[in-house]
Amino acid sequence: MKEKWVLTRKGADYEGLAKALGVDPVIVRILVNRGMKTEEEMRIYLYGGKEALHDPHLLKDIDLASEIICEKIAAGKKIRIIGDYDIDGVMASYILLQGFARCGAVADAAIPDRIRDGYGINEALILQAKEDLVDTIVTCDNGISAIEPIALAKRFGMTVIVTDHHEVPFDLVDGRRVEKRSEADAIVNPKQEEDHYPFPGLCGGAVAMKLIQVLYEKCGIPAAEAEVFYQYAGFATIGDVMDLQGENRILAKLGLEALNHTENLGLRALIAQNDLEDAKLKAYHVGFRIGPCLNASGRLETAQLSLKLLQSTETKDAVPMAIEITNLNLQRKEMTEAAVLQAIRSIEENGYDAQRVLVIYLPDCHESLAGIVAGRLRERYHRPSLVITQGESGAKGSGRSIEQYSMFEELNRHGELFTKYGGHPMAAGFSLPKENIALLRTALNEGCTLTDADLIPKVKIDVDMPMGYVSRELIDQLSMLEPFGKANEKPVFAQRNVEIRSCRIIGKNRNVLRMTLRPAAGYEVEAVYFGDPEDLFSAIEEKYGKITADAMRQGRWTGSHTVRDEGRARLFAQTRAVVGGDEEPVSLHFCYYPELNTWRGETKLQMQIISVSA
């Protein structure tokens, strides 16, 4: 797929700020590109630790919630935590369970079944709590929209405390937004209108940790003891794909530092099952290796398994659960790959690739995978993608969008087609009658205002920088920008007209390109590309012709020079004596990120290629 490269240019005193902060001007330019304007902002970003976290007392209702819980603990009342079935919900549930136990509470946790219960606290869970003689319910990562279930709990005489981070539901009254509030005794959610917490973008696990920090203070437990929860709140922040800015980035950073030395037997077993014992764990490992395992149990079985793993106190118990969860994730990956292939066939056979909004019906796809498949289609076709499955109670779907298309707003325009829907600009979930699927496809495409330019993916370049400028010192400073993730993406550098000296396909699936590049006379560097090798071969064919591209594809290319086509070959043969040579360098434009690669004890500079262009 063709990409548009966009170089970010923002003005600032790069040299002055770099000197004040003790970093290369390239680092300052990246920080400016991330929206930072002052030296203080940049200093916190680069050097901030736990002292940069905000005071939990600033959260509305958090003191009230902790006072209520303290009273319940003192009275020996039974407390039930109700979480969610994803990484954030599981981590938040674990944080509250451990924190409450440390304070002497009688507490347990319930997590809804994704298919049977759906998201969040519901009537069935309230009725079960009543049967179990629960006195107090504490939600985490859910509850802000549960107006009716909470009203039921209050009718049964229960105390309800909500801790959440999702958007607050509201009504429009005379054009004014009026937030809906349940009958909960205390609501801790930084997104409430009356909440003045400095950073409203926390995940559910972070909100739960803040509550435990205040609770420990009220119970006379040293504040330092709550720092054990950094790893879980940081894990949840990364796993729930929160914006890694401000306090979130500090939490993710602290969390990864702790995770690399974790004493949690369940996490250690899971890390071992994913062959990561000797790795320095980064956000990538949480987001794409360990985290999906914890999510898989909630998708295919029950998230209680992941919660139980975190609670393990014996290695002999943790290892079998870690194996089971890892196998569930492997099963989930296989099911996802099959569903993605089925979706691609449907798109190609039905001509949906000519449409600007993809609406794909996969009746046999497991409904918990619809969002993952939609995300894969969005990446492949760079257009809004909705995948609909046949659930137990009707057709259910999930959508993933691109920046130029607010999925929730577009679904809202056609609300009459759904039995239920919700979401935000980049993602949505919904239910609808099966017979409305074709109507939805037509409605979304007929009303779509996306242009051809909108459907071209963009590569945002931070710095147009020669590869020869890269040093080990710069790479060390780039590591200060980690952890990378949503809203704090890995920086992108670019250099034009880089000569390719050698190129070969490697890997058991033959999907990795290893190259030697010559960015400047007398300087060569290794490079690796994990994208589709055809991206590079197509660029070569566009610029130099099919003969050269095919030679590269087939591994027959033996040098760093070539000719464009047979006609050019004959021309060079005729004029060789005149021009002083018969060949020209093969060069492309590269977007890249520099890194150090260690192989067999030797560490070398390597360029990770992000994108190529003729």
- If you write DSSP's letter for every residue of 202-267 in order, what string do you get? --HHHHHHHHHHHHHHHTT--GGGGGGGHHHHHHHHHHTT---SHHHHHHHHHHHHHHTT---HHH
Q: What is the pLDDT of residue 428?
A: 87
Q: Which residue has the higher pLDDT, 520 or 1?
A: 520
Looking at domain 351-455, which CATH architecture does it have? Roll (3.10)
| The CATH number, out of the four listed (1.20.1070, 2.40.50, 3.90.1340, 3.40.50), of the domain defined by the range 462-613 | 2.40.50
Q: What is the pLDDT of residue 420?
A: 84
Give the pLDDT confidence of 27-43 residue by residue, as tens digits. Answer: 999 999 999 999 999 99
Give the pLDDT confidence of 307-362 residue by residue, as tens digits. Answer: 999 999 999 999 999 999 999 999 999 999 999 999 999 999 999 999 999 999 99
Mean of pLDDT values over 399-407: 94
Q: Is the predicted pLDDT of residue 375 greater than 60, yes or no?
A: yes
Q: What is the pLDDT of residue 580?
A: 34
Whole-number Å distance between alpha carbons of 150 and 142? 12
The model's confidence at residue 446, banded by pLDDT at 50, 70 and 90, is very high
Domain coordinates in residue numbering, the chain: 4-44, 59-229, 351-455, 462-613
Whole-number Å distance between alpha carbons of 446 and 356? 9
Q: What is the pLDDT of residue 558?
A: 60
The model's confidence at residue 197, banded by pLDDT at 50, 70 and 90, is very high
Mean of pLDDT values over 489-493: 97
Give the pLDDT confidence of 222-251 residue by residue, as tens digits. Answer: 999 999 999 999 999 999 999 999 999 999
Mean of pLDDT values over 422-447: 92
Q: What is the pLDDT of residue 1?
A: 67
Q: Is the predicted pLDDT of residue 455 greater than 90, yes or no?
A: yes
Instruction: Compute the mean pLDDT over every residue in the chain, rounded to the nearest whole number.
Output: 92
- CB of 208 within 8 A of CB of 162? no
Q: What is the pLDDT of residue 329?
A: 97
59-229 has which fold? inorganic pyrophosphatase (n-terminal core) (3.90.1640)
Q: What is the pLDDT of residue 192?
A: 94
Q: Is the predicted pLDDT of residue 566 greater than 50, yes or no?
A: no
Q: Is the predicted pLDDT of residue 450 greater than 90, yes or no?
A: yes
Q: Is the predicted pLDDT of residue 576 greater than 70, yes or no?
A: no
State which of 390-399, 485-494, 554-563 shows the largest mean pLDDT: 485-494
Q: What is the pLDDT of residue 275?
A: 97
Whole-number Å distance between alpha carbons of 51 and 527? 39
Whole-number Å distance between alpha carbons of 440 and 77? 50
Q: Is the predicted pLDDT of residue 491 greater than 90, yes or no?
A: yes
Give the pLDDT confidence of 583-599 residue by residue, as tens digits. Answer: 578 999 999 999 999 88
C-alpha distance from residue 472 to each of 30, 135, 597, 610 (Å):
18, 59, 12, 20
Q: Assess whether the region 59-229 and the region 351-455 belong to the same CATH fold.
A: no
Q: What is the pLDDT of residue 280?
A: 94
Give the pLDDT confidence of 80-128 residue by residue, as tens digits. Answer: 999 999 999 999 999 999 999 999 999 999 999 988 888 889 999 999 9
- CB of 30 within 8 A of CB of 10? no
Find the distance separating the first CA and the last CA of the chain, reported in whole Å: 13
What does the angle CA 488 – CA 491 – CA 492 come to, to the nearest 5 degrees?
140
Closest Cα to residue 238, out of 290, 306, 192, 278?
290
Q: What is the pLDDT of residue 68?
A: 98
**Stated length of the chain:** 614
Give the pLDDT confidence of 132-184 residue by residue, as tens digits. Answer: 999 999 999 999 989 999 999 999 999 999 999 988 888 878 888 889 999 99
